[in-house]
Chain A
Amino acid sequence: MPQATGRADATRAVVFSPLEGAGRAELVEQRLTDAIVAGVLRDGERLPSESELARSLGVAVVTAREALVALRDKGLVHTKRGRDGGSFVTHDRDASMRMIDERVRALSRIELRDLSLHYAAIAGMAAEVAADRASEDDLAGLVELDARADLATPGGARRAVGRFQLEIAAVSQSPRLVHEELRLQAEAGPLLWLCLREQDSRDRSRTARLEVIQAIRTVQPERARRATTEHIAAAVEWLIDEKVRLEQASPIESDEASAAATPEGGRP
């Protein structure tokens, strides 16, 4: 039964989905950091409690607590005591931009391209199968999602891309592709869709979406796959250009930063 279990918004839903192969506070911290700096979790929003977080992410309560402490130290959440207490998101736009920039610099081009390739493999296959398996209702649902997309803001455009890709995976009728789509949206989404900061990229993401819809309407699986993988490839090329811009704008100074930004091929 699909309904209001809090998974309606894909980009949000992935934030609290189980972490795989991990029980580490850093992973919890990274995922929540990504969601906060990307604006998926809003300023002032109350986070789930330690025990709720632990349960939905599949980690120990002490791990969730550790991650929340780290987020507090970074200034991404603040804690209120008392009956209406809890951890609340503090979204500072400038601080967020700096944090994302650091993340982009810390990952090598190889890692970024590999991540996008993995995502393209999943999303492309989902689109290919969806083009063959979409019913008239499925198609109407995709058109409706596109019509509701907010292209005016980066957050809106990100949510639109996330929801559309998740719906495509669902239309493919594969629980595994849906699962992988959710997992990779959490991992790759915050970086890959940084390009949606720019109106130009947001317009292109809409064009790609319409191309996929058209391919599905005309039952052209290859075309649906191509439109999807090309969209992702363009996003990672933008990201790598951005990485170059960042590196040129402020060359690496500290030892820590240079270790984190070891060029591709190197071991961090």
Chain B
Amino acid sequence: MSVTVDVTAEHIARRIASTIDPVFAMIDGWRDVLERELSGPLAGALTGSTEPTAATLDPVVAALVSAELERDGTLITGAGFVAAPGFLVDAPWHLAWWLSGSNTFGAGPDPRLRRLEAVSDPDSEQFRDYTTLEWWRVPARTGTRHLTGPYVDYLCTDDYTVTITTPVRVGGEMAGLVGTDLYVARLEQVLLPVIRESGHPCTLVNASGRIVASTDARRATGALLRLDGLAEALTPLRDAVTVTDATSLPGGEAVVPCGDTSLALVLEA
């Protein structure tokens, strides 16, 4: 069911998309560099290695993500590459992930850019199969970018986080993924002024209907927005189908997708 939505709402939805789009573009850029390095005529140009190894790839990833992690005013707090199990010849399971200085997890008294310490030995009791987690599972299934969260990242940084991940493909197979973490508090700070411009009561939700930000102070970030028909209206977003048409709910609310962010703006009647 397509409806005509206030031009302002469409405009706000586009503004939200354009706030997040640079982050998407950045990750896509990292993906392109890695895909070029791992296959095709330029394979091994940066590492000098024709075989994919953690040892040679890690410095490439570090160089890709560290500049953005250290940039003033950046939205992101962590970023890197996660390898598909068995893809790298010297590391069956591998995370090349860096945290920025604004990320205080395990940082000690002087937080600065540093690598996340990960357990990559599957025989260790502390090993966790990352391919079962949403930020891996969904892009692996859909073959495209996914926004996970908001969620409490208790396995890593203890913070309220959004993680964006996109697959890196080599010879038609998923070789791993690149991604980044954003603090929800920081995201809300950036997005609230945008959604307030609409002048309508409206709420930004993820594809599960979880509230990211709302003009209504009583709608808590992290709570589920429970509206008749909302779950159905968000189904295409969960399946990573890019939809641009607004839909209307039985209660009169309008649901406007925000570009291909998988977020949607819900305008109350």
Contact B154 A4 (CB under 8 A): no
Which of B7-15, B19-27, B157-165 is found at the contact surface with chain A? B157-165
The distance from the CB of B57 to the nearest CB of chain A, in whole angstroms, is: 17
Contact A179 B118 (CB under 8 A): no
Contact A173 B126 (CB under 8 A): no
Q: Which residue of A lies closest to B165 (CB)?
A: A1
- Which residues of A have CB within 8 Å of B223? 132-133, 173
Task: Decide if B208 is an interface residue (CB 8 Å cutoff).
Answer: yes
Contact A136 B208 (CB under 8 A): yes
Task: Tell me whether A173 and B179 are in contact in the complex, defined as CB-CB below 8 angstroms, given that A5-B155, A7-B155, A182-B154 are known contacts.
Answer: no
Task: Decide if B87 is an interface residue (CB 8 Å cutoff).
Answer: no
Please, what's the 1-or-0 string for B143-185, where 1 marks a CB less than 8 Å from any CB in chain A?
Answer: 0000000111111111111010000000000000001010000
> Which secondary structure characterizes the binding site on chain B?
loop
Give the size category of B's interface with A. 35 or more
Task: Decide if A72 is an interface residue (CB 8 Å cutoff).
Answer: no
Within 8 A of A (CB), among B78-111: 78, 80, 82, 93, 95, 97, 106, 108
Please, what's the 1-or-0 string for A1-35, where 1 marks a CB less than 8 Å from any CB in chain B?
Answer: 11111111100110000000000000000000000
Contact B154 A135 (CB under 8 A): no
Q: Give the number of chain A interface residues (Cβ < 8 Å).
A: 30
> How many angstroms between the C-alpha atoms of A170 and B209 in the bound complex?
17
Contact B151 A170 (CB under 8 A): yes
B93, B124, B156: the one contacting A1 at CB < 8 Å is B156
Contact B119 A4 (CB under 8 A): yes
Contact B125 A178 (CB under 8 A): no
Q: Which residue of A lies closest to B185 (CB)?
A: A175
Contact B125 A12 (CB under 8 A): yes
Q: Which residue of A lies closest to B157 (CB)?
A: A1
Q: Which residue of B lies closest to A17 (CB)?
A: B158
Contact A175 B128 (CB under 8 A): no
> How many angstroms between the C-alpha atoms of A216 and B1 in the bound complex?
31
- Which residues of A have CB within 8 Å of B181? 1
Task: Decide if B67 is an interface residue (CB 8 Å cutoff).
Answer: no
> How many angstroms between the C-alpha atoms of A127 and B180 in the bound complex?
30
- Which residues of B have CB within 8 Å of A134? 224
Contact A173 B108 (CB under 8 A): no
Contact B126 A8 (CB under 8 A): yes
The distance from the CB of B260 to the nearest CB of chain A, in whole angstroms, is: 21
> How many angstroms between the C-alpha atoms of A132 and B220 in the bound complex?
12
The distance from the CB of B51 to the nearest CB of chain A, in whole angstroms, is: 24
Task: Decide if A166 is an interface residue (CB 8 Å cutoff).
Answer: yes
- Which residues of B have CB within 8 Å of A174? 152, 222
- Which residues of B have CB within 8 Å of A9? 125-126
Within 8 A of A (CB), among B128-147: 128-130, 133-135
Task: Decide if B215 is an interface residue (CB 8 Å cutoff).
Answer: no
The distance from the CB of A115 to the nearest CB of chain B, in whole angstroms, is: 22
Please, what's the 1-or-0 string for A162-175, where 1 marks a CB less than 8 Å from any CB in chain B?
Answer: 00001001100111
The distance from the CB of A170 to the nearest CB of chain B, in whole angstroms, is: 5
Task: Decide if A84 is an interface residue (CB 8 Å cutoff).
Answer: no
The distance from the CB of A34 to the nearest CB of chain B, in whole angstroms, is: 17
The distance from the CB of A99 to the nearest CB of chain B, in whole angstroms, is: 22
Contact B152 A178 (CB under 8 A): yes
> How many angstroms between the C-alpha atoms of A6 and B128 in the bound complex?
8
- Which residues of A have CB within 8 Å of B127? 4, 8
A6, A7, A135: the one contacting B210 at CB < 8 Å is A135
Task: Decide if A78 is an interface residue (CB 8 Å cutoff).
Answer: no
> How many angstroms between the C-alpha atoms of A45 and B133 in the bound complex?
27
> How many angstroms between the C-alpha atoms of A6 and B153 in the bound complex?
13
- Which residues of A have CB within 8 Å of B95? 3-4
Q: Which residue of A lies closest to B224 (CB)?
A: A133
> How many angstroms between the C-alpha atoms of A166 and B151 in the bound complex?
13
5 more contacts with CB within 8 A, not counting A1-B161, A132-B224, A173-B222, are: A5-B117, A42-B125, A133-B224, A136-B208, A169-B154
State the 6 A-B residue pairs at the shortest beta-carbon distance, nearest first: A173-B222, A8-B128, A2-B155, A6-B126, A135-B208, A4-B128
Listed A/B pairs (19) with beta-carbon separation below 8 Å: A1-B78, A1-B80, A1-B116, A1-B163, A2-B153, A2-B155, A3-B118, A4-B127, A4-B128, A5-B119, A6-B124, A7-B126, A8-B126, A12-B126, A45-B125, A173-B160, A174-B222, A178-B154, A182-B154
* B interface residues (Cβ-Cβ under 8 A, vs A): 78, 80, 82, 93, 95, 97, 106, 108, 116-120, 124-130, 133-135, 150-161, 163, 179, 181, 208-210, 221-224
